[in-house]
């Protein structure tokens, strides 16, 4: 499967400009099976001043149908109860799946306006099963545990600041090794209020090796991941068979 990572410098609350940025990147690269955008890619990481980004979801649905591909990324979406969800959409030409961020970033006030999701979401697309996760979830390994080998790759979309880049890099490798899966991370770049983002979007192999690294500038890059190579690695080193077989979520 060909994966395209789209590393954006999201412009604060400018949904139309951010949509155009994303579309420009898609048009300038080779066709992929799955395009992935960062956390809250259409608005920036808005919390107290959250803005519903349903317009960006409609664009994702259009791109998936026109290009016969899947496209994924998180958006702030208003709910009927007045709260927002930090909602990770995985959109295909025929349907949409979503995951609401479980671990809300209290330091940034996300818990004040947003409502946490309570369930994990695993999406089947092509030959792969993808576990959807958002940014801060990365710090909580129990939530992503692959004890029953029920997924093949984790996708993390993020607004992870440059000041904590070492933690991001270290934890992504740990999640790949401990869960014997591909780990895909798409982080944003640029500046937002007092924070700087250095990107570092990447794909990590089940062995913990970097297969792709986008550096710190806005750009798009693609690479292939292989279900055959993953299954061969798991058969050669069946570590997950020795894990406690229970499901926490």
Between 93-97, 101-105, 190-194, 206-210, the lowest mean confidence (pLDDT) is in 190-194
Place of tokens 């991370």: 185
Q: Are 12 and 45 contacting, i.e. CB atoms less than 8 angstroms apart?
A: no
What does pTM read for this prediction? 0.97
Boundaries of domain holding 150: 2-241
Q: What is the CATH number of the domain that holds 211?
A: 3.60.110.10
Domain assignment of residue 172, yes or no: yes
Q: What is the pLDDT of residues 168-220, one digit of tens each?
A: 999 999 999 999 999 999 999 999 888 999 999 999 999 999 999 999 999 99
Q: How many domains does the chain have?
A: 1
Q: What is the pLDDT of residues 118-162, one digit of tens each?
A: 999 999 999 999 999 999 999 999 999 998 899 999 999 999 999
Structure tokens at 108: 């940034």
Domain assignment of residue 69, yes or no: yes
Question: Please, which pLDDT band fits residue 243 given cuts at 50, 70 and 90?
Answer: confident
Domain assignment of residue 84, yes or no: yes
Average pLDDT over residues 39-50: 94
Domain assignment of residue 247, yes or no: no
**Beta strands 2-7; 34-36: pairing state:** parallel
Catalytic residues: 39, 101, 135
Domain assignment of residue 55, yes or no: yes
Domain assignment of residue 162, yes or no: yes
Domain assignment of residue 125, yes or no: yes
Domain assignment of residue 127, yes or no: yes
Place of tokens 């406690």: 244
- Give the torsion through C-alpha atoms of 173, 208, 87, 190, to 10 deg: 70
């Amino acid at each position: 499967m060909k994966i395209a990572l789209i590393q954006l410098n999201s412009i604060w609350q400018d949904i139309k400009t951010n949509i155009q940025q994303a579309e420009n990147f898609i048009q300038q690269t080779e066709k992929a099976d799955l395009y992935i955008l960062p956390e809250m890619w259409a608005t920036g990481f808005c919390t107290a001043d959250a803005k519903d980004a349903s317009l960006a979801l409609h664009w994702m649905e259009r791109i998936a149908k026109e290009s016969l591909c899947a496209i994924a990324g998180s958006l702030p979406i208003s709910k009927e109860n007045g709260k927002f969800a930090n909602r990770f959409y995985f959109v295909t030409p025929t349907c949409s799946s979503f995951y609401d961020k479980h671990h809300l970033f209290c330091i940034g006030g996300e818990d004040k306006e947003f409502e946490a999701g309570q369930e994990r979401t695993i999406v089947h697309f092509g030959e792969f099963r993808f576990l959807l996760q958002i940014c801060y979830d990365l710090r909580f390994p129990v939530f992503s545990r692959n004890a029953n080998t029920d997924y093949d790759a984790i996708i993390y979309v993020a607004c992870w600041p440059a000041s904590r880049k070492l933690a991001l890099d270290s934890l992504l490798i740990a999640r790949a090794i401990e869960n014997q899966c591909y780990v895909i991370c798409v982080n944003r770049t640029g500046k937002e209020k007092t924070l700087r983002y250095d990107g570092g979007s990447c794909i990590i192999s089940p062995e913990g090796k970097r297969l792709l690294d986008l550096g710190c500038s806005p750009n798009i890059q693609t690479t292939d991941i292989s279900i055959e190579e993953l299954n061969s690695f798991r058969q050669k080193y069946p570590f997950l068979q020795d894990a406690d077989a229970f499901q926490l979520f």
